């Protein structure tokens, strides 16, 4: 049963749904595939004003494998992806995900001023670090990390969301590709930005690394501290030239965008300064790593036992995650078109699918009531 709309974003809208059989809430992200497909076509790059990102087209098998992995991901700082429902002949794809009742983290006010103090920002950032560490461990790059994709529950736990544009990373894969034009321009790493001339050249495989997420984490932390991104421009063309070249600055006076309000920032903590500089290193080869971040003095400052925390949260101690060929093939549930003569078959097929999904659970769930969105 659909309750209400939770919000809208660049890639689609999100609705709150209630499973009446299981008594649980879920979020359903509805993505318009046509708007995404236009960004995949070779000619689409030139149409994006004058700013460009290197583009390649993902292969369906790679997408399905990634979805299969994400559906098995289980981590306290990663929003669960329960199901992906698709119809090759329809405009939309449906992602059934964990509902986060706390919504997006509140990181700035209506005047664009930061809302968090250093201690709260550190807590949020630690949750982000653990979530990203886990995703990288299981072989997934998020590629769209930003404050808007950090959700929290009422208990204050922060989780990473929005896996609509992920990319499977494998050091042994010599044919690594950028799946598509993805992410938010202000959070692009320098190695992902290019000029019109560079766009025509093949994308070097060795730049598609976990370092692109580390950069986005650095921009996100900067946002939590200053309420704005570190590199700003009026057009994407300017932005893609600024990010690789402009020096990182730490303002002492923040001015609101649409009001005379201003805020004097205290001197930046030397350890926080060091962390931001190392995360926002223009050279991805020397950029700080996740492991180094977990042991950084600013990150572990208020922990009683930093070494124990780093060890206990290491994803190597979590259950191994492997996907079978069958799970890859069944990663995306096909949504049949709802012609009257097909409706009963569709519902029966979906009922069997859900029964298989939850055969080992303590309580069998049925999503038929809240999947009536077509």
Contacts 24+ apart (CB under 8 A), 60-67: 61/328, 62/168, 62/179, 63/179, 64/328, 64/329, 64/331, 64/332, 65/168, 65/323, 65/328, 65/331, 66/140, 66/166, 66/167, 66/168, 67/331, 67/332
Catalytic, 283? Answer no
SS3 (DSSP) at 263? strand
Inter-residue contact 224 to 107 (CB < 8 Å): yes
CA atoms within 13 A on the CB side of 148: 13
Which residue is associated with the tokens 């997420």? Answer: 213
Spatial distance between the Cα atoms of 238 and 181, rounded to a whole number of angstroms: 17
Spatial distance between the Cα atoms of 190 and 282, rounded to a whole number of angstroms: 6
Compute φ and ψ for 183, nearest 5 degrees: 90, -175
Exposure string of 270-304, with b = 16+ CB inside 10 Å and e = fewer, is eebeebbebbbbbebeebbebeebbebebbbeeee
The two tokens of residue 366 are 């049925």
Task: Catalytic residue, from 19, 58, 144, 213: name it.
Answer: 144
Return the active site residues. 144
């Amino acid at each position: 049963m659909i309750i209400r709309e939770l919000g809208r974003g660049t890639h689609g809208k999100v609705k709150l749904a209630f499973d009446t059989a299981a008594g649980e809430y879920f979020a359903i992200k509805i993505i318009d595939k046509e708007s995404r497909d236009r960004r995949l076509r070779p000619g689409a790059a030139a149409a994006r004003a004058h700013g460009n990102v290197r583009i390649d087209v993902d292969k369906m098998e790679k997408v399905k494998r990634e979805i299969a992995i994400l559906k098995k991901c289980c981590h306290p700082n990663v929003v669960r992806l329960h199901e992906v429902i698709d119809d090759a002949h329809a405009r939309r794809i449906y992602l059934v995900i964990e509902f986060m009742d706390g919504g997006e983290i509140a990181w700035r006010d209506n005047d664009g001023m930061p809302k968090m103090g250093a201690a709260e920002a550190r807590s949020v950032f630690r949750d982000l670090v653990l979530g990203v560490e886990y995703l990288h461990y299981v072989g997934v790059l998020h590629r769209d990390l930003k404050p808007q994709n950090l959700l929290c529950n009422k208990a204050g736990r922060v989780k990473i969301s929005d896996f609509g544009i992920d990319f499977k990373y494998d050091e042994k894969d010599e044919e690594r590709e950028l799946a598509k034009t993805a992410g938010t321009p202000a959070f692009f790493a320098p190695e992902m930005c290019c000029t019109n001339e560079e766009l025509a050249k093949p994308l070097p495989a060795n730049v598609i690394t976990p370092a692109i997420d580390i950069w986005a984490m650095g921009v996100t932390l900067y946002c939590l501290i200053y309420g704005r991104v570190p590199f700003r421009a009026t057009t994407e063309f300017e932005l893609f030239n600024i990010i690789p070249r402009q020096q990182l600055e730490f303002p002492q006076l923040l001015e609101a965008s649409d009001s005379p309000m201003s805020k004097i920032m205290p001197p930046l903590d030397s350890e926080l300064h060091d962390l931001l500089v190392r995360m926002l290193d223009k050279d991805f080869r020397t950029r700080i790593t996740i492991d180094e971040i977990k042991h950084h003095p600013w990150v572990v400052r208020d922990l009683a036992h930093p070494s124990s925390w780093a060890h206990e949260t290491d994803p190597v101690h979590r259950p191994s995650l492997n996907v079978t060929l069958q799970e890859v093939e069944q990663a995306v549930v096909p949504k049949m078109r709802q012609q009257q003569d097909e409706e009963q078959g569709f519902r029966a097929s979906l009922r069997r699918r859900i029964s298989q999904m939850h055969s080992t659970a303590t309580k069998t769930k049925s999503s038929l009531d809240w999947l009536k969105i077509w």
